[in-house]
Amino acid sequence: MSNDRTALVTGGNRGIGLAICKGLADRGLNVVLGARNEDKGKGAAASIRGRGGSVRVEQLDVIETASIAACKERLDADDVTVDVLVNNAGIYPEADALETTIDQLDEVWTVNTRGPWLLVKEFMPGMIDRSYGRVVNVSSGSGSFGEGLDTNHAAYSASKAALNALTMTLDDAIPSGVDVKVNSMCPGWVHTRMGGESAPRTPEEGADTGLWLATLPADGPSGGFFRDRERIPW
């Protein structure tokens, strides 16, 4: 992939998001690292610049509609076009369907599903106009009906199932003949703040499928759900 491509990664300051940022920069893409806390974003960006990568930090809180719109306006003002969007930011409240509070339900829906939806509405039209784009929605096997929903994290599972539905309906909305692809991925159980210390996978291992989907060739898949670069059931 040519190095004139730009990728925006939400929740890019740690964990899987940071691993994806590093991997995309290593592949020659210009990275826009989205972080809710700008100072933490700047700290993460230093590790990317230290290895020769191109990175720009954007304060981006996917829970706030105004924050998403403001990020798009700043990028437009600097003539930065987003060719790759990785919707990585997410939260993982623990509670079954009856224990889940209204506040938990509202927050997990807003971060895990509504935020990615607003971001694709902001950035996918430009991808379609330019006839190139890759959207990667970081989902989870916990949101797969085929693999079995995680009933101990009911709101999370529901939000990821909804994110998968967004992937499928977005794929249907792409005009024919346009090289824009949208896919969901499951990183597996990854050793991050969300995954916990017992998780067997490194962030880099969790990021691999996302990096693959973010850099797919024109004949690559779209509208699918993947783990370890293999399709998994919805």
| Domain extent listing, the chain | 6-231
Segment 112-137 mean pLDDT = 98
pTM for the whole structure: 0.95
Residue 38 in tokens: 């700008």
Could you tell me the pLDDT band of residue 34, with boundaries at 50, 70 and 90? very high
Instruction: Please check the confidence at residue 1 and state whether its pLDDT lies above 80.
Output: no
Q: What is the pLDDT of residue 2?
A: 43
Q: Mutual orientation of helices 65-77 and 115-130 as an angle, nearest 10°?
A: 30
Helices (H), the chain: 15-26, 38-49, 65-77, 102-109, 115-130, 154-173, 203-214
Could you tell me the pLDDT band of residue 188, with boundaries at 50, 70 and 90? confident
- Using a pLDDT cut of 70, give the percent of the chain over it: 94
Segment 135-162 mean pLDDT = 96
Give the C-alpha separation, 129 to 82, whole Å: 12
Could you tell me the pLDDT band of residue 202, with boundaries at 50, 70 and 90? confident
The reply to whether 156 belongs to the active site is yes
Give the C-alpha separation, 44 to 32, whole Å: 12
Question: Do 55 and 82 meet the contact criterion of CB atoms below 8 Å apart?
Answer: no
Q: Mutual orientation of helices 102-109 and 154-173 as an angle, nearest 10°?
A: 30
The residue annotated as part of the active site, out of 36, 120, 123, 156, is: 156
- Residue 3 neighbours by CB under 8 Å, 6+ apart: 28, 29, 30, 54
Of 27, 61, 21, the closest CA to residue 44 belongs to 21
Give me the CATH topology for the region 6-231. Rossmann fold (3.40.50)
Q: What is the pLDDT of residue 192?
A: 64
